[in-house]
Structure 1
């Protein structure tokens, strides 16, 4: 690869691109809302939120010094991330707490990137994260969902025009912000009916002595704050 090509790739990655029209931003937000609201649609699209959820566990496990053993994604949209290390302490607490906030925090980071015009950087960054996650996937369904997701990002970032790239990026970020709100409410409902005795909130309660309801409240607060702040960035208000 010659220096001209390298410089062009770097400019494309690091440079800023003009954002789409407000109409496009609003439409992509409505499409994302349609992808997370109907129960039948959500049963499919929730797989993407699970990828972000388990990716959050995995990333924080590594950052906190734990050894990541593997990630499993299941067709019922559940997932499992296994890491080795101390069974208690700050690293374990942070790892257990990272899953539910991860989609919303990723959405917030994506909203900031789009607000500053870094559409291509966001798409390439997401592709790189999915590629890194793929190495740790330990089941066929997980490999399929991550490969399909990463392939979509790669194809759009390389082949689509500027308008389509921007619309795709905004749709993904809206989806993470909106989709990040729903899982904590689902967990709350499951716990009310005694169907999630080993949820992240319950594990955190055993690790810290803080009631599961307070951890759920934290999950709700993070997701809603990210939605409001990220939405303002996307809409430019």
Structure 2
């Protein structure tokens, strides 16, 4: 089936900026030139998390993904997403409306802490398989749609900034540049997920595990453990995906 607007210039421009880029025929991953570039990108992501001054500025992105994780799962289980707030101190909240108890609310509450690691692993895959431009276009679109649900000026600023950067990178397409940015963000999200996990493991009171304990009767440490399993699994998957690039 051919779309009615398939020959329109604007649609051809969208397609050109969204299709998958070339990958190496042997490794089936993005070709990096020079070959040390992936190591440099990984180092940038590590520095963003390890240096306290930089982490204070970039951790809001981890919180942003955390809250959108609540929202996305809430929508998937049939709840109505009404708004979200993110703050630079790693705090925030997303509001969904639906049944006051039950698996839907429990899944929605649980989804926040694993979300940055899962998205980080997904970004590694997109960066290494030529789909980085498409992923940036999707991020820009998600941020645009999310503006309807922001409930603070700081949240609006974060959403606009992330969406604008993704949109600019998508429009002025450069496969290696897009892949490098996504890979650095993936490292930030993966390591940031670990930092958030250690924070909640040390003090789970008043956080998502405590809410899950009230909803289910299962102790908070159980839910902290489930977060650990998912974050560790996502990190292992990201490492497995990166191995062909770093090895070569």
Give me the TM-score of the superposition, normalised by structure 1. 0.90
| Alpha-carbon distance, 1:212 to partner | 0.7
> Where does residue 223 of structure 2 map in the other structure?
215
> Where does residue 194 of structure 1 map in the other structure?
none
Counterpart of 2:230 in 1: which secondary structure? helix
After superposition, the CA RMSD in angstroms is: 1.9
Contact kept in structure 1, 2:20 and 2:132, CA below 8 Å: no
1:20/1:27 CA distance change after superposition, 3 Å: farther
1:162/1:109 CA distance change after superposition, 3 Å: closer
Contact kept in structure 1, 2:139 and 2:166, CA below 8 Å: yes
* C-alpha distance in structure 2 between counterparts of 1:4 and 1:82, whole Å: 39
* C-alpha distance in structure 1 between counterparts of 2:195 and 2:89, whole Å: 16
1:158/1:8 CA distance change after superposition, 3 Å: closer
CA displacement 1:115-145 (0-9 Å, x = unmatched) = 3221111111111222222211111000001
| Alpha-carbon distance, 1:59 to partner | 0.8
| Alpha-carbon distance, 1:228 to partner | 1.8
Matched, 1:73 2:81: no
Contact kept in structure 2, 1:134 and 1:146, CA below 8 Å: yes
Tell me how many residue pairs correspond in the alignment: 232
> Where does residue 9 of structure 1 map in the other structure?
14
1:171/1:75 CA distance change after superposition, 3 Å: closer
Matched, 1:233 2:245: no
CA displacement 1:66-104 (0-9 Å, x = unmatched) = 111210112323111111111110100000000000011
CA displacement 1:149-205 (0-9 Å, x = unmatched) = 1111111122253332221122122222222221010112234xxxxx221001111
* C-alpha distance in structure 1 between counterparts of 2:217 and 2:139, whole Å: 35
* C-alpha distance in structure 2 between counterparts of 1:231 and 1:131, whole Å: 31
Matched, 1:114 2:118: no
Once structures 1 and 2 are overlaid, which stretch shifts more, 181-190 or 157-166? 157-166
* C-alpha distance in structure 2 between counterparts of 1:37 and 1:209, whole Å: 36
Unaligned runs of 5+ in 2: 24-29
Moved over 3 A (4+): none
Q: 1:24-43 counterparts in 2 under 5 A?
A: 24-43=37-56
1:11/1:184 CA distance change after superposition, 3 Å: same
Once structures 1 and 2 are overlaid, which stretch shifts more, 18-27 or 31-40? 18-27
* C-alpha distance in structure 1 between counterparts of 2:100 and 2:183, whole Å: 39
133, 136, 140: which one pairs with 2:146? 133
* C-alpha distance in structure 2 between counterparts of 1:182 and 1:96, whole Å: 19
* C-alpha distance in structure 2 between counterparts of 1:84 and 1:98, whole Å: 16
> Where does residue 189 of structure 1 map in the other structure?
202
Counterpart of 2:158 in 1: which secondary structure? helix
* C-alpha distance in structure 1 between counterparts of 2:163 and 2:64, whole Å: 11
